[in-house]
Amino acid sequence: MRHIDTLVLVGVGLIGGSFALALRRAGAVGRVIGVGRRPETLVTARELGIIDESAQGFACVSSADLVMLAMPVGQTQPVLRGMAAYLGPNTIVTDAGSTKSEVVRAARAELGAALPRFVPGHPIAGTEHSGPQAAFADLYRGQRVVLTPLEETDSRALARVREAWEACGARVHQLDAEVHDRVLATVSHLPHMLAFALVDQVARSDNAAELFSYAAGGFRDFTRIASSHPEMWRDICLANRAAVLEELRRYEDGLELLRRALEAGDGTALEALFARAQEARNRWLGALAGKMPGSNE
Amino acid sequence: MRHIDTLVLVGVGLIGGSFALALRRAGAVGRVIGVGRRPETLVTARELGIIDESAQGFACVSSADLVMLAMPVGQTQPVLRGMAAYLGPNTIVTDAGSTKSEVVRAARAELGAALPRFVPGHPIAGTEHSGPQAAFADLYRGQRVVLTPLEETDSRALARVREAWEACGARVHQLDAEVHDRVLATVSHLPHMLAFALVDQVARSDNAAELFSYAAGGFRDFTRIASSHPEMWRDICLANRAAVLEELRRYEDGLELLRRALEAGDGTALEALFARAQEARNRWLGALAGKMPGSNE
């Protein structure tokens, strides 16, 4: 890949930080400049070797080869607005937001002539932890990254972003932004909401301490994603509201059927559903084992 | 502890098999006799060193010090009925069912004079795997086992079952059977239903293969328990129907509130709920780290 002389990271936490660390390890990047809301976070990122320097405001993007947006997705439009005037004629901008249609809409609204050099992206990787101290160079190894280019997207810009992710060890796929958002609503955004809702139900109970004291490994794994960053997930839900609502309503309908089966004492229906789910999951795991190294999200 | 000369295992899978393997490692058991529905499973259990011999029917319990019931909980009453006539005057019977009120009801109905030597129990441990090949001696190490003795339960029988679990490395607690069932409905039975329902929703989708192909670590952990044994979970749901339904209805109410917040675009409410859940879970994990070695369920 072509060397990235200057990378600007907007957001230096788990996602942006791991991107920089992976590029550094691949020898693919020179100087990394961090931009962020909290000065103390930028200090930490510098101490951890994620960034070389920090900048205030967006004038720094004028000298960048690549700008990576890795802050909560709700800040995308104001951030693009803030940097638009400074973007150099060769600067490529990409992002790592978990939703894509809203990001594309924001880019169309803010980037003007720079729009062809914007490459929307989403690394399907992560952990429930956040902040620069959670970042690590192996986060993307073997994981999928989805790029959702626009019709206008410059093919060289697209190729360069693809190369950067491949240097991080990721497998790059392309999807239409709306298809991406519907798929992720089902397999990621909905489960996050369900996990948050369950933990909140336990926490709101009169005997919450007793309940938690009997929670074991099944509960721990089911709710792992409920330790995720609240603001990030607020933004994802709002940005992908239509698709998440559609999946949530489908889930509520499915749950109602399950409840009715239980109310009726219909063991046959319960066992059939459980067996269908078990079989589908085990088939998926089997396919996964054939394709992927260990995975995180 | 006193040595168990003869243990009868009814059900030689993950739960019963791990109990036998742990007792063997502790030098706490002599002969282990397996009883089960499927001859090939008993052969496997013998090959794996879980049992020494297998038996047909329940006459074998007449010579047992301890009988462990570790089959799906829906078979409890017919199994107790089948063995009642053979129980020796010193034979203690215990079980590992995930629900306790129905088990207690079945024992009262079937055991007659042997009732005081029945000790209802539930090891809060397990994995999503099943069968004798899934059993391992460390399954219960550091995990909780809940005993829910009856008023009539003989204190020596209770002590002996407690000692056996402690020999497996478990921490033994006592609870009222109904309290147990309500607690487990919230922290175990409900999450299992939610995970089964999500996987089934994905599997029923027109683009199921595409959806699964973008599912990552968050989905994998959230749905791990949906690889659990369908018949076992059918029985648990039916046996603990009232408590599971109550928790399921509470969950549906909570989900409706969450959906309404999303419909209204109420980011403040979403973030508040997510933050409450994140904080509660992290507090629980912190408490857990202080108390427990690695945990499974």
Tell me whether A191 touches chain B (CB under 8 Å).
yes
CA separation, residue B6 to residues A185, B32, B36, B67, B276 (Å):
54, 6, 17, 9, 51
Region B166-178: what's the mean pLDDT? 98
CB contact under 8 A, B295 and A216: yes
Instruction: Kindly report which listed range (A224-233, B225-234, B236-245, B281-290) carries the lowest average pLDDT score.
Output: B281-290
CB contact under 8 A, B280 and A203: yes
**Is it the case that residue B179 has pLDDT exceeding 80?**
yes
Tell me whether B292 touches chain A (CB under 8 Å).
no
- Domain identity same for A57 and A183: no
pLDDT, tens digit, for every residue of B6-58?
999 999 999 999 999 999 999 999 999 999 999 999 999 999 999 999 999 99
CB contact under 8 A, B214 and A255: no
**Is it the case that residue B294 has pLDDT exceeding 60?**
no
- Domain identity same for A143 and A47: yes
CB contact under 8 A, A228 and B278: yes
CA distance A10 to chain B (A): 22
- Domain identity same for A187 and A123: no
Residue A219 domain-assigned?
yes
ipTM of the modeled complex = 0.90
User: Which chain A residues touch B201 with a CB distance below 8 Å?
Assistant: 186, 247, 250-251, 254
Region B290-294: what's the mean pLDDT? 56
**Is it the case that residue B296 has pLDDT exceeding 90?**
no
Kindly report the CA angle at B52 between B51 and B57, in degrees rounded to 5?
75
Q: Which two tokens stand for residue B33?
A: 């006799």
pLDDT at B28 (0 to 100): 97
CB contact under 8 A, A186 and B193: no
Kindly report the CA angle at A192 between A170 and A283, in degrees rounded to 5?
60
- Domain identity same for B120 and B252: no
Distance in angstroms (rounded) separating the CA atoms of residues B70 and B68: 6
Distance in angstroms (rounded) separating the CA atoms of residues B198 and B214: 15
**Is it the case that residue A258 has pLDDT exceeding 60?**
yes
A262 with B184: CB under 8 angstroms?
Answer: no
Residue B286 domain-assigned?
no
pLDDT at B292 (0 to 100): 52
pLDDT at B206 (0 to 100): 95
Percent of chain A at pLDDT above 90? 94
pLDDT at A196 (0 to 100): 97
Distance in angstroms (rounded) separating the CA atoms of residues B191 and B175: 21
CB contact under 8 A, B254 and A197: yes
Percent of chain B at pLDDT above 70? 97
Tell me whether B99 touches chain A (CB under 8 Å).
no
The DSSP H or E segment spanning B290 is helix B267-291
B50 with B26: CB under 8 angstroms?
Answer: no
CA distance B190 to chain A (A): 9
Entry pTM: 0.90
Region B148-170: what's the mean pLDDT? 98
Q: At residue A65, what is the residue type?
A: D
Domain that holds residue A191: 179-263
Residue B171 domain-assigned?
yes
Residue B277 domain-assigned?
no
CA distance A24 to chain B (A): 25
Q: Which two tokens stand for residue B288?
A: 């857990």
Provide the pairing of β-strand B171-174 with B4-10.
Answer: unpaired
- Domain identity same for B132 and B220: no
pLDDT, tens digit, for every residue of A36-73?
999 999 999 999 999 999 999 999 999 999 999 999 99
Closest partner CB to A221 (pick from B126, B224, B249): B224
Residue A296 domain-assigned?
no
Q: What is the mean pLDDT of chain A?
A: 95
Domain boundary among A143, A175, A207: A175
Tell me whether B47 touches chain A (CB under 8 Å).
no
CB contact under 8 A, A280 and B202: yes
Q: What are the backbone angles phi and psi of residue A167, rounded to the nearest 5°?
A: -65, -25
Per DSSP, the residues of B91-115 read: -EEEE--S--HHHHHHHHHH-GGGG
Tell me whether B187 touches chain A (CB under 8 Å).
yes
Distance in angstroms (rounded) separating the CA atoms of residues A67 and A27: 17
- Domain identity same for A112 and A43: yes
CB contact under 8 A, A186 and B205: yes
- Domain identity same for B124 and B250: no
Running DSSP on this structure, what letter comes out for residue B75?
Answer: G
pLDDT at A292 (0 to 100): 52
Q: Which two tokens stand for residue A244?
A: 């998440």
Tell me whether B185 touches chain A (CB under 8 Å).
no
- The CATH number for A199's domain is 1.10.3660.10
- Domain identity same for A154 and A48: yes
Residue A22 domain-assigned?
yes
Q: At residue A41, what is the residue type?
A: T
Tell me whether B26 touches chain A (CB under 8 Å).
no
Residue A60 domain-assigned?
yes
CB contact under 8 A, B218 and A297: yes
For residues A145-162, one letter each, b for 16 or more C-beta atoms within 10 angstroms of the residue's C-beta and e for the rest, the string is bbbbbbeebbeebbebbb
- Domain identity same for A30 and A161: yes
- Domain identity same for A24 and A104: yes
CA distance B64 to chain A (A): 31
CB contact under 8 A, A221 and B221: yes
- The CATH number for B34's domain is 3.40.50.720
Q: What is the mean pLDDT of chain B?
A: 95
Interface test with A, best of B187, B192, B283, B297 (most A CBs within 10 A): B187
Q: Which two tokens stand for residue A209?
A: 């301490």
Closest partner CB to A280 (pick from B183, B203, B235): B203
Closest partner CB to B196 (pick from A215, A241, A274): A274
Residue A272 domain-assigned?
no
User: Which chain B residues touch A229 with a CB distance below 8 Å?
Assistant: 278
Provide the pairing of β-strand A118-119 with A92-95.
Answer: parallel
* Per-residue pLDDT band at A11 (split at 50, 70, 90): very high
- Domain identity same for A249 and A105: no
Domain boundary among B156, B175, B194: B175
- Domain identity same for A103 and A185: no
* Per-residue pLDDT band at B295 (split at 50, 70, 90): very low
Interface test with B, best of A122, A180, A214 (most B CBs within 10 A): A214
A272 with A211: CB under 8 angstroms?
Answer: no
Domain boundary among B152, B175, B198: B175
The tally of domains found in chain A comes to: 2
Give 3-state DSSP helix, strand, coil % of chain B, rounded to 5: 60, 15, 30
Closest partner CB to B216 (pick from A125, A195, A271): A125
